A = this chain, B = another copy of it.
Amino acid sequence: MIKVAIIGGGNVAYHLTKAFKTSKKVEVALFSGRDDLSKKIINIDICIIAVSDSAIVEVAKKLLDLNVLVAHTSGSVAIKNLPNKRCGVFYPLQTFSKEKKVNFNNIPICLESNNTEDFNILKILAGYISNSIAAVSSEQRRALHVAAVVANNFSNHMFTIAEGICKENDLSFDLLKPLILETADKIKTLDPFIAQTGPAKRHDLDTIQNHENLLKNSIHKKLYKQITQSILNTYGQKL
């Protein structure tokens, strides 16, 4: 039985706690970052800090007196920023919303530690909730986080823009849902470079011009131009 304290009040803390609760090999307790942690956290093997990036070090400092393994869940914060003797990273690469259940089975847990022993403890713990475990250095994790922002946050923002265009034209956003699901499903078997379709990929400049004329929101118009430019560029074409 591994005894885990999770510290945080956000989506990652919430879903991670829920996931550990499904394992019989883990005893988990959730704490707020504002708690007097060194007094409350007793008889714990691993503290997982799942607070906002800017608060991680401050919380980690509160745990200095405890002889526990301290790991954070951030994509951006380097392991060397943790002041604790035994430290690591436990970064679940997924997008978490309170309103949406997640299945941890396939979520890659990206691990890092300064020593093999602690790495193996994190690996055992991660293995209780996921089948996908990866050793990822701080530098790689930083890049992976940028890639995740581009792949997830930016795509989701595209969905938001698309929904806005639907609303402006009395169209149900439901019409786009099968397309969005297929867009993601394709990358299971096709490289996204190969899966690309659309006017920019076909170098269909008339359609591109018509679309730009159609967009009223100036930020969206600019984005349309620049993403189109980036697609043309990726496939060695010019406007």
Contact = CB atoms under 8 A, between A and B. Distances in A.
B226 A223 contact: yes
A204 B94 CA distance: 18
Given A178-B108, A182-B94, A210 B149 contact: no
Interface stretch (A24-32, A35-43, A96-104, A112-120): A96-104
B215 A95 contact: no
A118 to B, nearest CB: 22
A81 interface: no
Given A95-B186, A107-B178, A198 B149 contact: yes
Q: How many copies does the complex hold?
A: 2
A236 to B, nearest CB: 13
Contact of A204 (B11, B53, B178, B222): B53
Contact of A198 (B94, B152, B206): B152
A133 to B, nearest CB: 11
Main secondary structure of the interface of A (DSSP, over half): helix
Interface stretch (A63-71, A82-90, A165-173): A165-173
B176 A93 contact: yes
16 contacts: A100-B195, A108-B175, A132-B175, A134-B172, A143-B166, A144-B175, A146-B215, A147-B165, A151-B180, A152-B183, A153-B201, A159-B192, A160-B196, A181-B185, A219-B226, A223-B226
Given A143-B165, A153-B196, 18 more contacts: A53-B207, A93-B175, A93-B179, A97-B194, A100-B195, A102-B182, A147-B163, A148-B162, A151-B180, A152-B180, A153-B201, A154-B158, A157-B230, A157-B234, A159-B192, A160-B192, A223-B226, A226-B226
